[in-house]
């Protein structure tokens, strides 16, 4: 198990007062806090060996390149990618998905083809496919969802058909917490010859991920949600698909030769890494991967499971509180409290030093499906404790009293 | 109230009695059957929505109503705005938008002639909530721009 108190000491940001109370950070699904080792790794790059990668014939450049490529191997091991060259560094999960939507989808889809997406996607795994559909004449089709927010898998063969060329689905919902049975979906998709992209932004930070066992073709995630710096994300793809794709961005570092009228592309992964990358963030992500591996992803998952079950039980005791999503879920709880608007709730909790998310969570279709304009969300990570949950529950009681009192309800 | 005693200044400055009253019993809520101008505006980051309907005759705002949904601040602000703008000339209404914006930047004096809406000055100390308060006033500004002639 995880020694939470020891973990908390690794995160300098947690040691502070907000509005006179110790900070309770419950917004890790938006972005995670960073352990000291990640912060120091970024600082050391800038302080000791700042140089461009893959170009410089000098000591600093050599060291930067070694650390950059070392991070790629760490990430590959972390998600069990068959080879590091199939791990491509991008800006974030959004860019990873857009890379596939441009470089693969626009060259492989045509009128009559179907893209199957789930209705519980983050905008980042929906809007790129709307654009790709518009550009190619392909049609969007949607998985069905159960009443508690799980993707129906008993009718996969009705949804994924011979027309389906691409299935794009999240591994874990950022709103409902739903863990999607990606393996089952990928199996059904591959039987029909469809390519499968998995949005792992909310799963990779929180559970063991094995892209080969999942059976998907593309897997996208962000570094900043898994203790790494902002500005780095990852696209993993099957080699044969990546090799047959056109580049996403043209520029330096992605070519093998250039004349005035044409160019030859560099080998993987550089074909997809045009321009100077976010070197510090990539190396920082390598440190984050080391940190998570040190804790053990099974332990991370178990810790969050324990916490979210405790939170569900405690939150259910708050009168007037509605929890959305399935019973079995990742480490987050989305809810509303009576008719208090989530913004008001977030403001009152913030006065108590508690940080939650309020709004539509970049998932407007999910809000429409729930029939609410917005929700509040508390999300957990390795540094959260049952005490944090208790503070949240106490804050909700206070908000209830305050609003009941002031609004005269 | 425990919360008020913990944070007497900040929260009570934000959630003033008059604001909660407008939130609980919004004035001028509903649609206008034959508006001179109407506009829908939303806040894409948080889901607040407002539809504003104005009846303008002879350069005077005869009637103003709103519909939509959102947090206490956005709803109360819309209610206060419609109340403040009724019976005012278009030029006066424009000036009120300007005053409200200045108030959101911390200039409480600018908000004095805005009626109940001056109570929203406390929002300026909560930067993330300013956009909630501004939504209906931005709808007013755009509506005035769309007036014929």
* CATH number of the structural domain spanning residue A302: 3.90.1150.10
- Asked whether residue A285 carries a pLDDT value surpassing 80, the answer given is yes
CB < 8 Å to B25, chain A: none
CATH number reported for the structural domain that contains residue A71 in this entry: 3.40.640.10
Q: Return the pLDDT at B4.
A: 42
Confidence of residue B1 (pLDDT cuts 50, 70, 90): very low
Q: Return the pLDDT at B56.
A: 97
| The pair of three-digit structure tokens given for residue B106, joined into one six-digit string | 């911390």
CB-based contact B77:B136 (threshold 8 Å): yes
When divided into structural domains, chain B yields a total of 1
Residue A342 within a domain: yes
Residue B2 within a domain: no
Single residue among A277, A294, A311 that ends a domain in this structure: A294
Distance CA A126, CA A51 (A): 37
Note whether A245 and A377 are same-domain residues.
no
Note whether A270 and A303 are same-domain residues.
no
Judge whether A216 counts as a catalytic residue: no
Residue A303 within a domain: yes
Confidence of residue A384 (pLDDT cuts 50, 70, 90): very high
Residue B1 within a domain: no
| List of long-range contacts for B13-17, beta carbons under 8 Å, 24+ apart | B13/B122, B13/B125, B14/A347, B14/B73, B14/B122, B14/B123, B14/B125, B14/B126, B14/B129, B15/A344, B15/A402, B15/A406, B15/B72, B16/B119, B16/B122, B17/A406
B11 touching A (Cβ < 8 Å)? yes
* CB-count exposure of residue A361 (10 Å: 0-12, 13-18, 19+): buried
| The pair of three-digit structure tokens given for residue A60, joined into one six-digit string | 């600093």
| The pair of three-digit structure tokens given for residue A378, joined into one six-digit string | 């508390």
Note whether A216 and A335 are same-domain residues.
no
Q: What is the mean pLDDT of residues A353-382?
A: 92
Most confidently predicted of A95-99, A359-363, B115-119: A95-99
Residue A348 within a domain: yes
Residue A382 within a domain: yes
When divided into structural domains, chain A yields a total of 2
Note whether A235 and A318 are same-domain residues.
no
- List the single best residue of B12, B45, B47, B78 to mutate versus A (max A Cβ within 10 A): B47
C-beta atoms of B71 and A360 within 8 A: no
Q: Return the pLDDT at A368.
A: 87
Q: Which of A354, A362, A397, A361 is nearest to A376 (CA)?
A: A361
CATH number reported for the structural domain that contains residue B18 in this entry: 3.90.1010.10
Q: Which of A127-131, A339-343, A353-357, B87-91 has the lowest mean pLDDT?
A: A339-343
Residue A142 within a domain: yes
Q: What is the mean pLDDT of residues A291-317?
A: 98
CB < 8 Å to A336, chain B: none
- Asked whether residue A223 carries a pLDDT value surpassing 70, the answer given is yes
Note whether A207 and A268 are same-domain residues.
yes
Residue A344 within a domain: yes
CB-based contact A132:A163 (threshold 8 Å): no
Residue B124 within a domain: yes
Residue A37 within a domain: no
Note whether A270 and A373 are same-domain residues.
no
Single residue among A262, A294, A326 that ends a domain in this structure: A294
- Asked whether residue B3 carries a pLDDT value surpassing 80, the answer given is no
Query: Percentage of chain A surpassing pLDDT 90?
Result: 89
Note whether A135 and A249 are same-domain residues.
yes
Note whether A97 and A246 are same-domain residues.
yes
Distance CA A263, CA A254 (A): 10
Helices (H), chain B: 2-6, 10-14, 17-24, 72-85, 90-104, 130-145
CB < 8 Å to B3, chain A: 348, 351, 398-399, 401-402
Q: Return the pLDDT at A218.
A: 98
B 66-105 residues with CB < 8 A to A: 69-73
- Asked whether residue B2 carries a pLDDT value surpassing 50, the answer given is no
* Beta partners for residue A321, in sequence order: A337
Single residue among A278, A294, A310 that ends a domain in this structure: A294
Note whether A63 and A194 are same-domain residues.
yes
Which DSSP category does B89 fall into? B
Q: Which contiguous run of DSSP H or E holds residue B40?
A: strand B37-43
Confidence of residue A56 (pLDDT cuts 50, 70, 90): confident
**Cβ neighbours of residue A403 closer than 8 Å, sequence gap 6 or more:** A338, A340, A344, A348, A409
- Boundaries of domain holding B90: 8-146
Note whether A132 and A208 are same-domain residues.
yes
Q: What is the mean pLDDT of residues B6-19?
A: 76
Confidence of residue B9 (pLDDT cuts 50, 70, 90): low
Query: Percentage of chain A surpassing pLDDT 70?
Result: 99
- Boundaries of domain holding A200: 49-294
Residue B3 within a domain: no
- Asked whether residue B47 carries a pLDDT value surpassing 80, the answer given is no
Catalytic residue among A362, A372, A393, A394: A362
Q: Which of B137, B121, B32, B31 is nearest to B81 (CA)?
A: B137
| The pair of three-digit structure tokens given for residue A56, joined into one six-digit string | 């410089």
Note whether A287 and A300 are same-domain residues.
no
- Asked whether residue A253 carries a pLDDT value surpassing 90, the answer given is no
CB < 8 Å to B120, chain A: none
Length of chain A: 409
Note whether A373 and A281 are same-domain residues.
no
Residue A42 within a domain: no
C-beta atoms of B46 and A409 within 8 A: no
């Amino acid at each position: 198990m995880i020694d939470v108190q020891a973990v908390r000491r690794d995160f300098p940001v947690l040691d502070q007062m907000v509005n006179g109370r110790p900070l309770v950070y419950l917004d890790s699904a938006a972005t995670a806090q960073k352990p000291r080792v990640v912060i120091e790794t970024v600082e050391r790059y800038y302080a000791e060996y700042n140089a461009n990668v893959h170009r410089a014939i000098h000591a600093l450049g050599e060291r930067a390149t070694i650390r950059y490529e070392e991070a790629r191997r760490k990430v590959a091991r972390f998600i069990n990618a068959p080879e590091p060259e199939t791990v491509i560094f991008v800006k974030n999960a959004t860019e990873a998905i857009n890379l596939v939507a441009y470089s693969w989808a626009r060259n492989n889809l045509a009128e009559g083809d179907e893209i199957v997406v789930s209705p519980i996607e983050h905008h980042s795994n929906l809007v790129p496919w709307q654009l790709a559909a518009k550009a190619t004449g392909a049609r969007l089709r949607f998985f069905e969802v159960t009443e508690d927010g799980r993707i129906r898998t008993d009718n996969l063969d009705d949804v994924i058909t011979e027309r389906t060329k691409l299935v794009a689905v999240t591994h874990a919902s950022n709103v409902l917490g739903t863990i999607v049975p990606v393996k089952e979906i990928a199996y059904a998709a591959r039987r029909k010859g469809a390519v499968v992209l998995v949005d792992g932004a909310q799963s990779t930070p929180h559970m063991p991920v094995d892209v080969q066992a999942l059976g998907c073709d593309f897997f996208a995630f962000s570094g900043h949600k898994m203790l790494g710096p902002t500005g780095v994300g990852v696209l993993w793809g099957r080699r044969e698909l990546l090799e047959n794709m056109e580049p996403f961005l043209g520029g330096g570092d992605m070519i093998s030769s250039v004349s005035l009228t044409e160019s030859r592309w560099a080998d993987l992964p550089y074909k997809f890494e045009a321009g100077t990358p976010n070197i510090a963030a990539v190396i920082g992500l390598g440190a984050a991967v080391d940190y998570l591996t040190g804790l053990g992803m099974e332990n991370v998952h178990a810790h969050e499971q324990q916490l979210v079950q405790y939170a569900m039980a405690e939150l259910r005791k708050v009168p007037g509180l509605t929890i959305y999503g399935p019973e079995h879920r990742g480490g987050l709880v989305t809810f509303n409290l009576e008719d208090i608007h989530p913004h008001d709730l977030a403001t009152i909790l913030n006065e108590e030093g508690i940080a939650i998310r309020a709004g539509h969570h970049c998932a407007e279709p999910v809000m429409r499906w729930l029939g609410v304009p917005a929700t509040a969300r508390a999300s957990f990570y390795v540094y959260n404790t049952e005490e944090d949950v208790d503070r949240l529950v106490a804050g909700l009681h206070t908000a209830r009293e305050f609003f009941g009192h002031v609004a005269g309800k | 109230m425990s919360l008020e005693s913990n944070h007497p200044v900040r929260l009570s400055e934000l959630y003033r009695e008059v604001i909660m009253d407008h939130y609980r019993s919004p004035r001028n809520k509903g649609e206008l059957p034959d508006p001179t101008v109407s506009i829908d505006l939303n806040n894409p980051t948080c889901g607040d929505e407002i539809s504003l309907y104005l009846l303008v005759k002879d350069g005077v705002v005869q009637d103003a109503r709103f519909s939509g949904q959102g947090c206490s601040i956005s709803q109360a602000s819309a209610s206060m705005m419609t109340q403040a703008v009724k019976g005012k000339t278009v030029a006066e209404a424009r000036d009120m938008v300007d005053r409200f914006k200045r108030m959101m930047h911390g200039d409480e004096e600018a908000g004095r002639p805005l009626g109940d809406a001056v109570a929203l000055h406390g929002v300026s100390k909560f930067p993330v909530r300013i956009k909630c308060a501004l939504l209906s006033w931005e709808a007013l500004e755009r509506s005035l721009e769309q007036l014929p002639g």
